[in-house]
Amino acid sequence: MARAPKIIDVARLAGVSTATVSRALNNPESVSPETRGAVLRSANEVDYRINHAARSLRLQKTGAVAVLIPNVGNPFFSNILAGIESVMTKSSINVLVLDTHGHTSQSSLADYLNSQRADGIICLDGQLAFDTVSNESFMHDLPVVYACEWPIKGVCNSVRSDNAKGAQLAVEHLVSLGHKHIGHLAGPTGNVLTSKRKRATVDALHNCGLKVETSWFYNGDFGLASGTAAAKQWLTHKKRPTALFCSSDLMAIGVMAELMRCGVSVPGELSLIGFDDIDIARYYTPALTTIRQPTRELGSTAAKVLLDRLHGHNATDEKLLDIELIVRASTATPSANG
């Protein structure tokens, strides 16, 4: 069996020292582009591969990061994960995923993370307080970056969409169609996205000169079932809103499905707009008007911020990503609302 190529083989072929080869492969900015090019060509020629396990052990690093997700079954998170993995894969870092449902205590998170040995954390669950996730006493002061959601208290690195602008665009779109009776289906109580979008919805209605009818503000949990429940409430009203802005696509689809089951036309009797632009939004019938979050960019940006932290660099506390109104068939003028 042929001997596996070693770093000294690369050094001899490139005409440099083994220390220079190591710097070129592990810390490329420390050598000139010409030297790095010569080392890479030589490594390819002898088919040399970095032993990442040995490198991690030498640097006292695990070569993995943990991603904390509040509900792995929610399709919204799939593109965020794809964005995280696209960046981490290029740096040969593994991604460990934890569904935080049932792991909301310090001790529970500590047991998981200490057993998995992660170098850093990307947290998509704003319900987890920053001091819970980043407590030095049980996670060895790991760098933490929040993505999409963020804790209400505590200063931390976070990457988020412009949620307030999203709610504003949703309301303004409905008003531009002629709607004057607009309701809102909010997310779970205590969630930072819920409060941000709800507050911005109220502000947008006021700015458009419209009355806020509190009975048209329904409580949900971002899931399909809460959309179904909101639709049932809507059906009980003698005076109903002609349009409903939902704080997630899943809730909007839940509303739509229940109303259609009851023979109510969307957008014929109720215009619906969601938030997120998950994949099914464009394929549902009618296709859902929504606020598109840059989910893949949320993930990739959070991963880059965490890599900066892992390399000892400072990172901006908050990165705000833009959003976009996507107009489809679920919204129409109120004249079409019977």
The CATH number of the domain holding residue 90 is: 3.40.50.2300
> Which span out of 53-67, 85-99, 319-333 was modeled with the highest average pLDDT?
319-333
Spatial distance between the Cα atoms of 128 and 306, rounded to a whole number of angstroms: 18
Considering the domain architecture, whether residues 274 and 150 belong to the same structural domain is answered as no
For 172, the domain range is 163-293+325-336
Average per-residue pLDDT for the chain? 86
2 lies in a domain?
no
1 lies in a domain?
no
Domain of 33, CATH number, reads 1.10.260.40
Model confidence pLDDT, tens digit, residues 261-318: 999 999 999 999 999 999 999 999 999 999 999 999 999 999 999 999 888 877 778 8
pLDDT at site 120: 87
59 lies in a domain?
no
Considering the domain architecture, whether residues 204 and 274 belong to the same structural domain is answered as yes
Spatial distance between the Cα atoms of 20 and 11, rounded to a whole number of angstroms: 8
* pLDDT of 115 above 80: no
Spatial distance between the Cα atoms of 18 and 2, rounded to a whole number of angstroms: 21
> Which span out of 43-47, 78-82, 93-97 was modeled with the highest average pLDDT?
78-82
Residue with tokens 């109220």: 202
pLDDT at site 73: 84
pLDDT at site 63: 82
Considering the domain architecture, whether residues 172 and 223 belong to the same structural domain is answered as yes
58 lies in a domain?
no
Under a CB-based contact definition with an 8 Å cutoff, are residues 158 and 318 in contact?
A: yes
Considering the domain architecture, whether residues 176 and 280 belong to the same structural domain is answered as yes
Considering the domain architecture, whether residues 139 and 110 belong to the same structural domain is answered as yes
Spatial distance between the Cα atoms of 198 and 136, rounded to a whole number of angstroms: 34
Considering the domain architecture, whether residues 121 and 268 belong to the same structural domain is answered as no
pLDDT at site 193: 95
Considering the domain architecture, whether residues 239 and 300 belong to the same structural domain is answered as no
55 lies in a domain?
no
Considering the domain architecture, whether residues 211 and 281 belong to the same structural domain is answered as yes
Considering the domain architecture, whether residues 172 and 149 belong to the same structural domain is answered as no
Considering the domain architecture, whether residues 284 and 307 belong to the same structural domain is answered as no
Considering the domain architecture, whether residues 277 and 178 belong to the same structural domain is answered as yes
* pLDDT of 137 above 60: no
Confidence tier at 129 by pLDDT (50, 70, 90): low
The total number of structural domains that make up the chain:
3
Considering the domain architecture, whether residues 148 and 173 belong to the same structural domain is answered as no
